[in-house]
Amino acid sequence: MSMEIKTQRWVEQQVQWFIGLCKETGMKVTPQRVAIYRELAATDEHPSAEAIFNKIKTYFPNVSLTTVYRTLETFEGRGVISVVNTLYNAARWDAKTEQHNHLVCVSCKKVEDLYDDTSVNLELDNKKGFRVLGYNLLINGICKECQEMRS
């Protein structure tokens, strides 16, 4: 089985999960919402709203950028997706909501997932009385491709 077929199958499983979640929570299932979620689930690139808009307008020409923004914010508010704020540009979006961190290239602005088993010892509970519910770590650096271009 090729990697492309596995990826397509995984994306379709995620889309079916998404549709089921929408029905369970009373969120209306529309073709545009499904398309936006599918684009997110199909990529590891953490696209901006504009990038998602540019992809889906090819097959939903009447969709607006405002609709894409509102839909992404709705999804994020319901925990369906997460937002990655890189501080460099617009928000970037991620269909993977399990705990993970991100590597951000300060040169090309690429965002990559970082799954790391090492724990971050926050100790804020004891030092500041701050109850930690979760954390997102953004590690800024220069990706391998940009380092090679500089050499």
Q: Which domains does the chain have, with CATH numbers?
A: 3-94 (1.10.10.10), 101-150 (3.30.1490.190)
Task: Identify whether the C-beta of residue 80 lies closer than 8 Å to the C-beta of residue 97.
Answer: yes
Q: Show the tokens assigned to 104.
A: 């951000």
What would the pLDDT profile of 7-54 be if each residue is shown by its tens digit? Answer: 888 899 999 999 999 999 899 999 999 999 999 999 888 899 999 999
How many residues comprise the chain? 151
Integer angstrom CA distances of residue 108 from 24, 82, 83, 95: 40, 21, 19, 21
Q: Residue 140: its pLDDT value, please? A: 81
Would the pTM count as exceeding 0.85? Answer: no
Residue-wise over 26-44: b if at least 16 C-beta within 10 A, else e? ebeeeeebebbbbbbbbbe
Give me the mean pLDDT over the 116-143 stretch.
68
SS3 104: strand
**Residue 111 CB neighbours (<10 A):** 20
The predicted pLDDT at position 107 comes to: 81
